[in-house]
Amino acid sequence: MYLGVDIFSRNIYADPEKYWFGGICDEIINEFDVLEKCEQLGKDKVVLKEYRGAGGSLTEKRVYMNSESTLVQKKFLITDYIKEFSVFRDFVRHRRWSFNKERYNKIQSLDQNGLVVAGEFFSPLKMLHLAMGPVNSVYFLMEYPDLASELLNMHELAQLDCIRQCVENGVKVVMSMDNLDTMFHPPDYVTAYSASYYEKASSICHANGSYFFIHACGQQKANLELISSCQVDGLEGVAFPPLGDVELDEAMRKTGPDFIITGGISAMETRNLKTEKEVFNYVEKLFRKMAPYKNRFIFSSSCNTAIDTSWDTIRHFRDAWMHYRQTDC
């Protein structure tokens, strides 16, 4: 059913059983054979992927939990970064992404009034998180900084190349899917391992009249000024208390005058606000608070929606947005 939204989520085209994001750009790993085995366990789907290269193989295992509508990493690609480093280096060196313009145009054609956000990308630090988990990523960065730097630089170059492909072919908004929680992305780590990528990605986007966003999840307060200084255009889904650590109006004050923040609807609201009146009251108060920043605030989901959210609740938020967006509350 049509909601009349202005921006299509970067998840609207992603296959939730395959990965947490992506679907517009094709992953290519030269010199590696990719074997995939799928198994159905009741309503859950188990996917085992093996990457075979000349120097050895890497495997990972993910399970799509149907009852939770969630993809879970059961085995990381890298479990021993010392023994597997050589193969992993080959894997990162030969991996690149290719923008699929036909697929993008097909999704965009669903509604010419909407805007498809290309949420395809991830920072060098997030690359390590996805490959070996946050804990081993920290150990690896601390124990082998030179080896880690080599991998981070190769990944950055491959990502920037695909970002350039996207924006040179008409994509207007690009998003890095980093879950920028300061528990996993503290300011010193962002400065050391991700800032270069954010600055260069933003520059490529701006040179082509496009915008660069980062997906924000969890604690954001300590990173806001740093991310804004990287010339990033905005953060998607900023979480506010109790799920986050900064109120939306405070986040606005900590960032630049053109920095865009999206959010305002967390899982707490979609779970707890049951009636139309409750939703309208909430939205009115929020819009009053955010009125000074209405030129750079996008009312949207703050990272996630409660799994038991009713369709009526979603429509109530849509109706409240349409009612109050034209007023000064």
Tens-place pLDDT, residues 251-273: 999 999 999 999 999 999 999 99
Q: What is the band of 279 on the pLDDT scale with cuts at 50, 70, 90?
A: very high
Which of 223-227's residues contact partners 24+ apart within 8 Å by CB, and which partners?
223/180, 223/182, 223/185, 223/186, 223/187, 223/190, 224/251, 224/254, 224/255, 225/254, 225/255, 226/187, 226/190, 226/191, 226/195, 227/180, 227/190, 227/198, 227/255
- CA triple 225-227-229, angle to 5 deg: 70
- Contacts for 216 with CB less than 8 Å, ≥ 6 apart: 179, 180, 181, 235, 236, 237, 238, 239, 303
- φ/ψ (deg, to 5) at 157: -60, -40
pLDDT for residue 1: 37
Q: Burial level of 198, CB count in 10 A (0-12/13-18/19+)?
A: buried
Q: State the first-to-last Cα distance of the chain, in angstroms, to the nearest integer.
A: 28
Across all residues in the chain, what is the average pLDDT?
93
Given a contact cutoff of 8 angstroms between Cβ atoms, the answer to whether 300 and 237 are in contact is: yes
Tens-place pLDDT, residues 34-91: 999 999 999 999 999 999 999 999 999 999 999 888 899 999 999 999 999 999 999 9
- Correct CATH for 7-15+99-236 of 3.40.50.9100, 3.20.20.210, 3.20.20.70, 3.40.50.410: 3.20.20.210
Instruction: Provide the 10 A C-beta neighbour count for residue 137.
Output: 24
- Contacts for 51 with CB less than 8 Å, ≥ 6 apart: 29, 32, 33, 34, 35, 57, 58, 59, 77, 91
Q: What is the band of 217 on the pLDDT scale with cuts at 50, 70, 90?
A: confident
- Domain segments of the chain: what residues? 7-15+99-236
Closest CA to 120 of 252, 212, 251, 187: 212
pLDDT for residue 2: 47
Given a contact cutoff of 8 angstroms between Cβ atoms, the answer to whether 236 and 218 are in contact is: no
